[in-house]
Structure 1
Amino acid sequence: MATDYEFQGWLGHDPESVNGKMEWGAFEPKKWTEDDVDIQISHCGICGSDLHMLRSGWGPTPYPCCVGHEIVGKAVRVGKNVKDIKIGDRVGVGAQARSCLKSDCPECSTGNEQYCRNGTVNTYGSVYPNGEGKSYGGYADYNRTNAHFVVKIPDVLPSEAAAPMLCGGVTVYSPLKRQGCGPGKSVGVVGVGGLGHFAVLFAKALGADTVVGISRKASKKDDVLKLGADKYIATDDDKDWDSQNARTLDLIISTVSSDKMPLSGYLSLLKVGGTFIQVGAPDGGNLPAVNAFALIAGSVKIGGSGIGSPEEISEMLQFAADKNIRPWVETRPLKDANKAILDMADGKARYRYVLVNEKHA
């Protein structure tokens, strides 16, 4: 089946592209199969992962690379094997484009596709098996993705609100749900940026008794309280912040990507049996060293969490629709993507940038 559209987008050709040097150009999407959906992109969120990949921060990036994995748009081509999406539907794609999807896969068969070790393909920067090509992301006009990882967007959610939820939102929603966030729980959020502001919104909406924003400086305090947090801790500015708040939290979600964060201090905030979940992924992957007694003394646990499964993404979007949750976003024209990623790197986003493709919005 021929198409009357071309796949074009902002391409990074080397690590320098992260310095505002992406170039607009054509690319060849993965080979079409009847399990796929082509999406005419109207919106794409900017995620910190985009910057990591552009600069090869998590390992060598297979350039050229078109980043962006918070994609919203209209389905314009739908494979014959696809049953639940039709042409014209408003749909979205998060950070994953495929897994093995085998019935005997321990992950895919239990709703944990994001942890599949047998055939995971990221929305951008991955090479498909069997010569199918490369994956290209959403700083572009069109995207092609396996339908299992394409989700419908609830009608009441604006596209600019839904887009950053597809990665940033579900990255914190998944561990909050899996760790039992709800009534009777006190939750801390380390790093109130793009991910962290979602964690505050979702923790409060899930019914946590107390939500505490934790960041280095007091400058974000007013914003975090407006997001719904009950308390704010500034680790650089609040004297004895760790001892003053010791054993007050059941769960901490850490969105910080730093090997210099005061991890032992964060762990001291946990109640006996509390849990610390790391979702931020620093270049190189290193976290601060952990003193064994910081774990033993309070019987605390350290864990990690990746993105969410397609089922979790759909659940989260419906939850956001039902609870009228809206992230704090600033829209930027797709043509200004280079300037937007520079502003993102400089920490200017409050709290999520969303690129708008004026041709399709």
Structure 2
Amino acid sequence: MSTDYKFQGWLGLDPESVKGKMVWQEYEPKPFDDNDVDIKITHCGICGSDIHTLRSGWGASDYPVCVGHEIVGHAVRVGSKVKGIKVGDRVGVGAQSGSCLNQHGDCEACADGLEQHCPKNVGTYNSRWPDGSKAYGGYADYWRGSAEFVLKIPDAIPSDEAAPMLCGGITAFSPLTQHGAGPGKKVGIVGIGGLGHFGIMGAKALGCDKIVAISRTSGKKDDALKMGATDFIATDESDSWAADHAGSLDLIVSTVSSPKMPLPQYLQLLKLNGVFVQVGAPEDIVPGFNMFALIAKRVTITGSMIGSPKEIQQMLDLFAEKGVHTWNNNVPMTEANKAVVDMVDGKARYRYVLVNEKHLK
């Protein structure tokens, strides 16, 4: 069955594409099957992962690549075996589009509802489907992929605000719920950027007693407090910040990707049995630390990656209930190259969202 629409989008052809050199081209999506959904894209968030991929920062990318994995739009084609989604529904997809569940597998991760850790994870872009066809992302007019990872967007959340929640939002929110954030807990969020602002608002929505925003300078202090932070630490503005706040936090979620992060000092902030969760993904090696930082207080260092479809839906429902709003700047899809350059330059406050204006009519 052919369609009356074409799959075309902004393609990165080489690492220079991150410098505003993506090209708008047509491409061939995966063959449609009975478990697939086609989405007419209205909005797509710009994620830091897009930047790393465009410039091959995490390793050689599979060019040509169409990035974008914070996709919202309307279902325009639904496979015969798809349940719970119909043509016309407002839906979205995040950073993952497939797992061994799509391949009749049953790995330990998928069996435990942790599909994001499946060894056969299919990324929404810069990845390959089981048949070898390429996965293309959301800087585009349409997206095609497995319905297993397509979610309905709650009516209370506008599409432009929902899009960044599908990767940035869940990346910061999932470790909070994994490690018991809620009433009685004191949480620190390192990095007040696209991920960090979701971490602050997510901790507030969960009812944490104390939410400490941690940044190099106090330039974003006012914003952090408006988002829901109760305290603020500017690490470059005090020589004693770690000692002054030692043993004050149950949980730290680090969203930064700098290899120069002061990890030993971050660990000093944790209480007995405290947990440090890294979600930012640096391209370089992070610094070492003294093992007594772990031994003395039974501190745990761990990581977290996006979230399962179930977790994303739970987050969306909570954000809808609590009135959580993304701090986003909308940019026409036609200006994607400029937006990517601005993202690299750190101008986002706090997420850029591409708006496919011709699909809003």
TM-score computed with the length of structure 2 as normaliser: 0.98
Separation (CA, whole Å) in 1 of partners of 2:259 and 2:36: 39
Give 1:318's aligned residue: 317
Give 1:23's aligned residue: 23
- Report the Cα offset of residue 78 of structure 1: 0.2
Separation (CA, whole Å) in 2 of partners of 1:127 and 1:293: 43
Write the letter of the residue equivalent to 1:105.
Answer: C
Deviation string 1:197-252 (CA, Å, 9 cap, x unpaired) is 00000101101000000000111111111111000000001231000000000000
- Superposed, which structure 2 residues align to 1:315-354 within 5 Å? 315-354=314-353
Give 1:124's aligned residue: 125
Residues 8 and 140, structure 2, Cα contact 8 Å, conserved in 1:
yes
- Report the Cα offset of residue 349 of structure 1: 0.6
* Distance change in 2, residues 1:22/1:103 (3 Å): closer
Give 2:295's aligned residue: 296
Count matched residues. 358
Separation (CA, whole Å) in 2 of partners of 1:12 and 1:94: 19
- Superposed, which structure 2 residues align to 1:58-137 within 5 Å? 58-101=58-101, 102=104, 104-117=106-119, 119-131=120-132, 133-137=133-137
- Superposed, which structure 2 residues align to 1:204-283 within 5 Å? 204-283=204-283
Separation (CA, whole Å) in 2 of partners of 1:271 and 1:112: 28
Moved over 6 A (4+): none
Secondary structure of the structure 2 residue equivalent to 1:107: helix
Write the letter of the residue equivalent to 2:317.
Answer: Q
Separation (CA, whole Å) in 2 of partners of 1:130 and 1:325: 39
Give 1:13's aligned residue: 13
Separation (CA, whole Å) in 2 of partners of 1:153 and 1:238: 43
Residues 7 and 142, structure 1, Cα contact 8 Å, conserved in 2:
yes
- Counting aligned pairs with the same residue, the percent is 63
Give 1:356's aligned residue: 355
Write the letter of the residue equivalent to 2:298.
Answer: S
Separation (CA, whole Å) in 1 of partners of 2:256 and 2:352: 18
Structure 1 residue runs without a partner (length 5+) = none
Secondary structure of the structure 1 residue equivalent to 2:72: strand
Separation (CA, whole Å) in 1 of partners of 2:178 and 2:129: 30
- Report the Cα offset of residue 103 of structure 1: 5.8
- Report the Cα offset of residue 290 of structure 1: 2.2
Write the letter of the residue equivalent to 1:330.
Answer: N
Secondary structure of the structure 2 residue equivalent to 1:171: helix
Q: Give RMSD over aligned pairs.
A: 0.8
Deviation string 1:288-314 (CA, Å, 9 cap, x unpaired) is 112111111221110000001011111
Residues 100 and 106, structure 2, Cα contact 8 Å, conserved in 1:
no
Separation (CA, whole Å) in 2 of partners of 1:77 and 1:268: 52
- Report the Cα offset of residue 130 of structure 1: 2.6
Separation (CA, whole Å) in 1 of partners of 2:299 and 2:312: 29
TM-score computed with the length of structure 1 as normaliser: 0.98
